[in-house]
Amino acid sequence: MHSLDWAAWIVSGGWLGMLGVLLRNSSKLDHLPEAPPEPSTHGLVCLCMPARNEAQSIGGALDSWLAQDYQDLFILVVDDGSSDGTAEILRGRADSHPDRCRVLRNDSLPAGWLGKNHAMHLAVQQPEAMEAAWLLFVDADVYVTPDLLRRTFAYLDERPADILALLFAVDAVGFWERVAVPLAVPGFLVFVPPHQVVNPRHFAFAGIGAFTLLSRSAYDAVGGHASAPLEAVDDMMLAYRIKKAGYVNRLACGGPMLHLRMYRGLLEIIRGMRKNTAALPGWWLMPVLVPLLLAGYLSPLWLPFVGHPILGFLIWLLTPAIAGDASQRITWKPMDWIWVFWPVNGLILGAGMLWAFWDRLRGVNTWRGRKVVLRGESPRVKKMN
């Protein structure tokens, strides 16, 4: 067999195998039940939201949380040195809802902390968080329906957990967002089998920045954010530490009740890929991984030229069908015809990974106006001059 034939079958087999894993895992994803007809309480929930330069989305997002019909909810927002109008928006919401929302302003970042981790650490030390039975960590661009928390606790009544992550639906605008983001989110399920997250003997664990609800006792038992102040993937690794400590972790679908617009335009998508991949271990393998990724993503284009047109067509057709089916399970939105252009996602991901590799070589990354020094075992953070 010719070497190109071997390459064709190896790449195709690997890609089709991943699609099979996605098909199986997405079918195992739990969904939230309907909210119970009668109001119920499971104790005080303290929502902790870090915000830095989120003026585009935080007003509507915070309004949706303030509209929650779960009564025992208090919202703490940490304005982490915003300079784009975020502070004014937050001040208005806090003044309008003093009994349900409070804003903390933080303009300094101590040495040895990443910005988001420090913001969360400040929030959980507040009296409202100390009294809470549950902590809810969310990002500042997440929109929710009024019954989300009641539906979440109805789920926990059926399937108890100490830490629950909800997968979110995506709002996509324009060509690049529509082709890249909705198909990328189900990719999480390739690596995190939802039915195994609860299994104490399985390696799978899940924490998601958009929505992670956890008991205060479990958070304190592992030392909270203070025990890993420089952990870049804080949500996932917090879940890892809590599950490792013997607590119950679950993953369920929060969409379409929980949704957000992850990125705005092509450049922001690439920057997001850059930030996320720069935090991964084994970054020095990126020059090897990028060609492998491109071989998979672009396989419908090159397989016909090495004598496998049917295989290329099959991969081109099955990828949006299976990933789109997983996306539909999460978002309840119909498939998008624009997904036929899915191979371009390889170029987007490859660009982000190479940019992250360059950041690693330089020893610095930049996110929301802060320099993250990447050299050594752990990143360090500096303010931009």
Residue 108: give its domain's CATH number. Answer: 3.90.550.10
Q: How confident is the model at residue 378 (pLDDT cuts 50, 70, 90)?
A: very low
Residue 196 belongs to some domain of the structure: no
Percent of the chain residues topping a pLDDT of 90: 77
d(C-alpha 269, C-alpha 274), whole Å? 9
Region 316-342 average pLDDT: 93
Q: What is the pLDDT of residues 85-94, one digit of tens each?
A: 999 999 999 9
Q: Do 220 and 129 reside in the same domain of the chain?
A: yes
Residue 370 belongs to some domain of the structure: yes
Query: What is the total count of domains within the chain?
Result: 2
Residue 52 belongs to some domain of the structure: yes
Q: How confident is the model at residue 276 (pLDDT cuts 50, 70, 90)?
A: confident
Region 162-170 average pLDDT: 97
Q: Do 245 and 122 reside in the same domain of the chain?
A: yes
Evaluate if residue 9 carries a pLDDT over 60.
yes
Q: Do 123 and 229 reside in the same domain of the chain?
A: yes
Q: What is the pLDDT of residues 68-111, one digit of tens each?
A: 999 999 999 999 989 889 999 999 999 999 999 999 999 988 88
Region 377-383 average pLDDT: 45
d(C-alpha 53, C-alpha 60), whole Å? 14
The per-residue pLDDT for 373 is: 67
Residue 54 belongs to some domain of the structure: yes
Q: Do 253 and 277 reside in the same domain of the chain?
A: no
Residue 201 belongs to some domain of the structure: no
The per-residue pLDDT for 383 is: 45
Q: Do 136 and 65 reside in the same domain of the chain?
A: yes
Q: Do 249 and 277 reside in the same domain of the chain?
A: no
**Nearest alpha-carbon partner for 215 in 132, 118, 291, 156:** 132
d(C-alpha 285, C-alpha 272), whole Å? 19
Residue 379 belongs to some domain of the structure: yes
Q: Which residue has the higher pLDDT, 361 or 366?
A: 361
Residue 183 belongs to some domain of the structure: no
Range of the domain at 328: 3-27+265-383
Q: Do 250 and 352 reside in the same domain of the chain?
A: no
Total-model pTM: 0.92
Residue 338 belongs to some domain of the structure: yes
Region 167-173 average pLDDT: 94
The per-residue pLDDT for 265 is: 94
